[in-house]
Amino acid sequence: MASGKKTRKEYPPRLYPVLKSPEKNRSMHHNCVFSGFGELNSAVGDTIYNDVMNNSQVGVILKLASLSYVWCAKTCHNLLRNQLAIERNYEIWSLIGGRPIRFSLHEFRDITRLNCDPFEDEGELKVNHTEFWELAGIKSGEGPSWDELVKAFETCSMWNYQQKRKLALLFVLHVGVYGLARTCRIPFVAAKRVLDEEAFERYPWGRVAFQKLVQSIKIAKFDVPSYTIPGFVHPLLIWGYESVEIIGERFGRRRDGPIPLLRWQSSRTRYNLEALMEEDKQNSVDKKARVRHLVDVPPAEIYPQWAGENPDCDKKLDNMIRDILDGCLDESFWETEAAAKKKRKSKAGESEDGPRKKGKSKADESDDDFVDKPGRKSSKKPLGHEEELRTKRKEEQRTKKTSDAASKKDSTTTEEPREKATRRKEKRNDATKCSMSADVDYSSLQEEVDRKTASKRREDEASRHL
């Protein structure tokens, strides 16, 4: 007799088990800092800067830098610490509110609208770079570093229009597309493309930017006190706002615009992800977190094309995507992993994220990125890096105060006999002065009595003679 029990499909497991997920208060850093674009604008002038911003495919990066946009590392860290373990090299999946969301080349293209077409085998671009490299002070045969480009800002005022424009494009590549550290260099083959405007504009810089970013994410360690993600990181934050509705509604500060990258002002409001997602579940009709699993693409194109990668390399991921598309995803698959933890926490009267707070149904929020809101914390809970530093400073201050108080006490104890002797001497002097004053007063009184007695005697003698 055939068994009626349905075989459960396997999905990708969590990258980090529930009890070993990286701490929430880790510090995430990046090199894609927009402050340098102000220096670029001053160096090349408004006309060239606006030309690149409005007419080049990489100009969307300058447009983002020109807006009132706020980077929020906390939201990105929340997305990255909840990844699923997949075997595909050029995409990531995160489990948010118990539901998977994808960040692939498709999502990156949808967010940035950059050219993400496959690389074409054009061979090496044959252009003479020597003259411009010498003019800009770039080491021959290598791509430029950030320091070399900034140094060129000081001398480019006398350059012609096209030379300044090439310098601007190189700087956008270094800071925006590649998101490199200041000492790192743009790949030489890529840097040479600024010398041929047509070759530059047809090149898929979006694919380059995504590839650099996702490779940085794949090798990053999220369980250390701080880490750096090279690359164009800002689409990662926008992905969070676009894919998780409550995060976008509560913290994204959406504005009108056709390009998602430019659609969000963002904020640095500090929040508890787990509590926020529970709130979203409670308020939703189907009691599920509101997420967008992936952008809509034809089923035949569900996996972006990457050279050397087999579309069927990850069976578990394929199972999950098929069930998402068919509307039959078994979301309880990941709940079983957390069952043991939930059982222990419920016995202790705690949630997954810590002790339950009475009278609070809404996620705690504050405007401090990566700084936990003050509150009661278990003494057994491991401290974050920043909290350890604060605790250490407080202990040092208490130790110093105790030491100062002890020194003051010792000083008081040493001086006490001397002060007592001084006070006794002062009392004796006061007593002596009082005694001397009394003697003077008594002598004066006696002299007055003697004078009166002598005067009366003389008066009596005079009366007898009369």
Confidence of residue 461 (pLDDT cuts 50, 70, 90): low
Q: What is the mean pLDDT of residues 339-356?
A: 52
DSSP string, 347-394: HTTEETTEE--TT--S--EES-TT-PPP----TTSPPPHHHHHHHHHH
DSSP type of residue 117: P
Q: What is the mean pLDDT of residues 121-146?
A: 92
Residues 6+ apart with CB under 8 A from 420: none
pLDDT tens per residue across span 293-339: 999 999 999 999 999 898 889 999 999 999 999 999 999 999 854 55
Task: Measure the CA–CA gap between 228 and 27, rounded to whole angstroms.
Answer: 9
- Least confident residue range of 298-307, 349-358, 381-390: 349-358
DSSP string, 308-339: T--TTS-HHHHHHHHHHHHT---THHHHHHHH
CB 54, CB 62: distance < 8 Å: no
pLDDT tens per residue across span 198-209: 999 999 999 999
Q: Identify which of 169, 163, 143 has the alpha carbon closest to the alpha carbon of residue 55.
A: 169
- Cα dihedral 294/295/300/305 (nearest 10): -90
Examine the pLDDT at 430 and tell me if it is beyond 80.
no
User: What are the CA-CA distances from residue 183 to residues 169, 252, 369, 454 (Å)?
Assistant: 18, 33, 27, 114
**Residue 369 identity (one-letter amino acid):** D
**pLDDT computed for residue 26 by the predictor:** 74
Scored b (16 or more CB within 10 A) or e, 102-122 reads: bbbbbbbbbbbbbbbeeeeee
Residues 6+ apart with CB under 8 A from 278: 97, 351
DSSP type of residue 18: G
Q: Where are the domains of the chain?
A: 18-335
Q: What is the mean pLDDT of residues 164-176?
A: 98
Task: Record the tokens describing residue 293, joined without a space.
Answer: 């699993």
Confidence of residue 354 (pLDDT cuts 50, 70, 90): very low
CB 226, CB 385: distance < 8 Å: yes
Burial bucket for residue 191 (CB in 10 Å: 0-12, 13-18, 19+): buried
